[in-house]
Amino acid sequence: MSRISVREVGMARANAGDLGSRTYPVGTIGFYSWNVPENRLYGDDVIAHIYCATPAELAAGVPIEKIIQYIDEPDRRRVAKAIHTAIVTGERYDAEYHMTHVDGRILRVAANGCCLRDADGTPSIYTGTSTILPLHASADAVDPLEVHCRAALGLATKRRHALAARYLSSALRVLGA
């Protein structure tokens, strides 16, 4: 998990009214479009809820960095790399990750998208969806192997052991985590 400063917590609480109090059920899908050359992401109110932004911010467009800042480590690097690969190669993007917001919300999210290109073949518009997934219902439902693999992946990523991180990521995919 990334560290969040006391100042950020205070700012989030001060702006809580701007974020809205509406909650969305598991399975709710949000839609977004990202103008890659201008680095402006636009999205609906579900995307605002998921990524701790206001609808007004997303109507005006926000940098992608604002959207990915609450993705938990080590998921953030994996997601950023997958997005980059999708932009460079034109391949589709699919990822599942956990997010912890400064206001304390924890979400599990599945996101997908693709980067469309203009007539010259330059990456232009990246469009996709994000879906709210269920968190584990209880401590009994948590697979201990998944917990240990996630902890080991965090250490491997922190220590820059790329091969170990790759194997642990593969293990988590096999577990469906």
Rounded Cα gap, residues 99 and 72, in angstroms: 5
Q: Is the pLDDT of residue 55 over 70?
A: yes
Q: Which numeric CATH code is attached to 6-135? A: 3.30.450.20
Please report, in angstroms and rounded to a whole number, the separation of the first and last CA atoms in the chain.
16
pLDDT band at 11 (very low <50, low <70, confident <90, very high): very low
Q: Is the pLDDT of residue 113 over 80?
A: yes
Predicted structure pTM score: 0.66
pLDDT at residue 81, as a whole number: 94
Mean pLDDT over residues 7-24, rounded?
49
Question: Minimal CA–CA distance to 156: which of 165, 168, 166?
Answer: 165
pLDDT-wise least confident of 3-17, 61-75, 100-114: 3-17
Spans of all domains in the chain: 6-135, 137-177
Average model confidence (pLDDT) across the chain: 84
pLDDT at residue 138, as a whole number: 38
Helix (H) or strand (E) holding 31, with range, is: strand 29-35
Check residues 139 and 176 and name the one with the higher pLDDT: 176
**What's the sign of the alpha-carbon dihedral 83, 64, 71, 52?**
negative
pLDDT at residue 162, as a whole number: 92
Check residues 148 and 53 and name the one with the higher pLDDT: 53
Q: What is the pLDDT of residues 16-37, one digit of tens each?
A: 445 555 778 889 999 999 999 9
Strand partners, 128: 32, 113
Rounded Cα gap, residues 10 and 133, in angstroms: 27
